[in-house]
Amino acid sequence: MKLPEEGILLRILIGESDRHGRQPLYEAIVHKAKELDLAGATVLRGIMGFGASSRLHTAKYLRLSTDLPLVIEIVDSEAYINRLLPFLDEVIGEGLITMEKVRIFRYQGNK
């Protein structure tokens, strides 16, 4: 049995059209997480949502939005997550970040 480790789930909610310079913001965040040697990151594209502006974004056919909601999830130790936070403060103009404690079970292939 794998023993759990304590960790943090960092969840970043932004829009698909958000940018950091000429690069999509989600790409900049994932590349920075990799540069800082975080365990991994996943970007999920939502099909519907709204944020602080209360403007509805949807992927319904015949009405394709160019600004669908994105969720970036990163799970790692608190120390590693904290390394990314100053960058997020710098690059996120509008969005939402949540952090919660999680139990991590790591499975790796036999090598």
| Number of domains the chain is built from | 1
Q: How confident is the prediction along the chain (111 residues), in pLDDT tens digits per residue? A: 566 789 999 999 999 999 999 999 999 999 999 999 999 999 999 887 777 666 666 666 545 556 789 999 999 999 999 999 999 999 999 899 999 999 998 887 776
User: Quick one: pLDDT at residue 28?
Assistant: 98
- 109 inside domain: no
- 35 inside domain: yes
- 110 inside domain: no
* Token pair belonging to 51: 């944020």
Residues in a beta bridge with 5: 104
Look up the pTM and report it.
0.85
- 64 inside domain: yes
Q: Rounded to whole angstroms, how far apart are CA atoms 27 and 66?
A: 16
User: Quick one: pLDDT at residue 52?
Assistant: 67
- 13 inside domain: yes
User: Quick one: pLDDT at residue 34?
Assistant: 98
- 85 inside domain: yes
User: Domain residues for 56?
Assistant: 5-104
CATH code at position 68: 3.30.70.120
User: Quick one: pLDDT at residue 108?
Assistant: 76
- 111 inside domain: no
Sequence-distant (6+) residues with CB within 8 A of 13 are 51, 69, 70, 71, 95, 96, 97, 98
66-92 burial, b for 16+ CB within 10 Å, e for fewer? eebbbbbebbbeeebbebbeebbeebb
